[in-house]
Amino acid sequence: MEYLDKAVYITECDDYNIDNIRVKLNQAFTALGLNSQYFKDKNVLIKANLVMAKKPEYAATTHPAFVRAIADIVYQYEAASLTVADSPGGPFNHVTLSSVYNTCGLNDIAGDRIKLNADFTYSPVRTNGFRLKSFNVINAFLKADIVIDLCKLKTHALTGMTCSIKNLFGIIPGVEKVEMHSNFTTKEDFSEMLVDLAEYAVSTKPIIAICDAVLSHEGNGPTHGIPKKTGLILMSKSLFSLDVVAEHIMKMDGEVLFLNYAAERGLTKRNYEDIDIIGMDSVPTFDFVRSDASKSMIIKYPKLLGGRIAKLLETRPKINRKKCIGCGKCASSCPKHTIVIKKNKQKRIAKINPKNCIKCYCCQELCPIGAVDVKQSLIVKILR
Ligand code: SF4
Ligand code: SF4
């Protein structure tokens, strides 16, 4: 049935009990017509969200219980293999990934049935994207027959929301993602690039989106916000439809720019009401605290404000000098090389040169201890 290709299945799920998740996911796979015919003898890749080494309870990374449940299901459908892969921030190599797999709890479930990707090679690809023409993609993605885009529901400093489309940014190897931020410095360009990437990805193989919104993430996402109980699982054969529904669940309807671009290209309906929902009679919604960076009024009223006034309202990253430990991870993830590590009273501390900053918030995302705050402009503070 063709409508199943764009439908979104939603179900409630209260916790990370593996048996519950397996039952719920089994129902979702069945409802979407995903079975042995689909998976038999196929090499399946879970494109996880392993943005940084964080424990599952922070709700910023893929929960191991989902990986276990998906493994049970795809092997029941006679898949040939299952591998988990992502290219987090920082270098795409054994050292980075060992730490990530370990902290994210994936080492505990790895074995013959669940392989953790150890292939750190990548290959160039070409596309006819609006912004993206040629780029590198990790070979783990290229080699898979079927990809399960296993994302979290989270707020995001730059794009407002991260779900299945943004999760695919991790098929670009390591520090090349920094280059992408450097090449696509505005929110508009970066969002258009994300749609190029997703459109490329879905043109190469079947990609099934599964969103773990059992515990979502609000505030300073995608890594330094706080867990938010939403008790849901979403699943779809269309990343684009799933993200539109996810945007509605977060009460962000119309705010996520990359979904505007996806709709303009005919990849999705823009309004969640035009998308077929199965599994639940109505779509639950929640008040998500936005990230500090996206609270700037320029995002809310972009057309009413001229460029100069908008500049005065912009937020910018600010190092929390008390917390900073001078590790330098922000400096190495900054696409504009505008962060230096200085010695200050026997303490190493990061310093941002605001002149070159493009407000991508990679520094905030990748700081291991949450020492990058967001500074609101004085005008925004007064107007609030
Ligand atoms: S701000 Fe964070 S990432 Fe940057 S040096 Fe300080 S602790 Fe490290
Ligand atoms: S300082 Fe932070 S927000 Fe500014 S360009 Fe560098 S990484 Fe991006």
How far is the centre of ligand 2, averaged over its atoms, from the C-alpha of 338 (Å)? 7
Q: Around Cβ 354, how many Cβ atoms within 10 Å?
A: 11
> Residue 225 above 90 pLDDT?
yes
Phi, psi of 213 (to 5 degrees): -115, 35
* Dist. CA 76–CA 73, nearest whole Å: 5
Would you say the CB of residue 92 lies under 6 angstroms from ligand 2?
no
Would you say the CB of residue 351 lies under 6 angstroms from ligand 1?
no
- Percent of the chain having pLDDT more than 70? 93
Would you say the CB of residue 325 lies under 6 angstroms from ligand 1?
yes
Q: What is the DSSP string of 322-350?
A: TT-----HHHHH-TT--EEEEEETTEEEE
* Dist. CA 61–CA 50, nearest whole Å: 5
How far is the centre of ligand 2, averaged over its atoms, from the C-alpha of 194 (Å)? 19
Dihedral sign computed on CA atoms, order 184, 185, 186, 191? positive
Q: For the residues 46-55, what does the mean pLDDT come to?
A: 97
The pLDDT assigned to 298 comes to 45
The pLDDT assigned to 101 comes to 98
CATH numeric code, 2-278: 3.40.50.11440
The pLDDT assigned to 272 comes to 97
Residue ID of nearest Cα to ligand 2 atom 5: 357
pLDDT class of 303 with cuts at 50, 70, 90? very low
* Dist. CA 283–CA 278, nearest whole Å: 10
Q: Where are the alpha helices (DSSP H) in the chain?
A: 18-31, 36-39, 64-76, 94-103, 139-143, 164-167, 176-183, 187-204, 239-249, 257-264, 297-300, 307-313, 329-333, 362-366, 378-383
Would you say the CB of residue 171 lies under 6 angstroms from ligand 2?
no
**Nearest C-alpha neighbor of 101 from the set 48, 154, 177, 57:** 48
Q: What is the 3-state secondary structure (H, E, C) of 230-298?
A: EEEEEEECCHHHHHHHHHHHCCCCCCCHHHHHHHHCCCCCCCHHHCCEECCCCCCCCCCCCCHHHHCHH
Q: Which amino acid is at 282?
A: S
How far is the centre of ligand 1, averaged over its atoms, from the C-alpha of 322 (Å)? 11
The pLDDT assigned to 297 comes to 44
Quick: pLDDT tens for 92-105. 999 999 999 999 99
Compare 320 and 344 and report the one with higher pLDDT.
320
Residue ID of nearest Cα to ligand 2 atom 8: 360
The pLDDT assigned to 328 comes to 96
Residue among 363, 364, 365 to mutate when testing ligand 2 (max atoms within 8 A of CB): 363
The pLDDT assigned to 346 comes to 83
pLDDT class of 362 with cuts at 50, 70, 90? very high
Would you say the CB of residue 293 lies under 6 angstroms from ligand 2?
no
Which atom, in ligand 2's list, is nearest to the CA of 337?
A: 6
The pLDDT assigned to 296 comes to 59
How far is the centre of ligand 2, averaged over its atoms, from the C-alpha of 364 (Å)? 8
Which segment of 80-84, 117-121, 166-170, 293-297 scores lowest on mean pLDDT?
293-297
Quick: pLDDT tens for 254-283. 999 999 999 999 999 999 999 999 999 999
The pLDDT assigned to 309 comes to 58
Would you say the CB of residue 362 lies under 6 angstroms from ligand 2?
yes
**Nearest C-alpha neighbor of 299 from the set 187, 220, 375:** 187
The chain-wide mean pLDDT, for the chain, equals: 93
The segment(s) of the chain belonging to CATH 3.40.50.11440 are 2-278
Distances (CA, A) of 215 to 161, 212, 230, 384: 15, 7, 6, 30
Is this structure's pTM higher than 0.75?
A: yes
How far is the centre of ligand 1, averaged over its atoms, from the C-alpha of 171 (Å)? 25
* Dist. CA 51–CA 373, nearest whole Å: 19
Compare 299 and 354 and report the one with higher pLDDT.
354
How far is the centre of ligand 2, averaged over its atoms, from the C-alpha of 330 (Å)? 8
The pLDDT assigned to 222 comes to 96
Specify the pairing of strand 146-156 against strand 160-162: antiparallel
Answer yes or no: are the C-beta atoms of 191 and 128 closer than 8 Å.
no
**Tokens at 297, concatenated:** 């009024």
The pLDDT assigned to 376 comes to 74
Quick: pLDDT tens for 163-205. 999 999 999 999 899 999 999 999 999 999 999 999 999 999 9
Cis peptide before 222 (omega within 30 of 0): yes
Answer yes or no: are the C-beta atoms of 358 and 185 closer than 8 Å.
yes
> Residue 160 above 60 pLDDT?
yes
The pLDDT assigned to 344 comes to 78
pLDDT class of 308 with cuts at 50, 70, 90? low
The segment(s) of the chain belonging to CATH 3.30.70.3270 are 296-383
> Residue 301 above 50 pLDDT?
no
Q: For the residues 141-145, what does the mean pLDDT come to?
A: 98
pLDDT class of 313 with cuts at 50, 70, 90? low
Would you say the CB of residue 53 lies under 6 angstroms from ligand 2?
no
CATH numeric code, 296-383: 3.30.70.3270
Which atom, in ligand 1's list, is nearest to the CA of 325?
A: 7
* Dist. CA 359–CA 299, nearest whole Å: 13
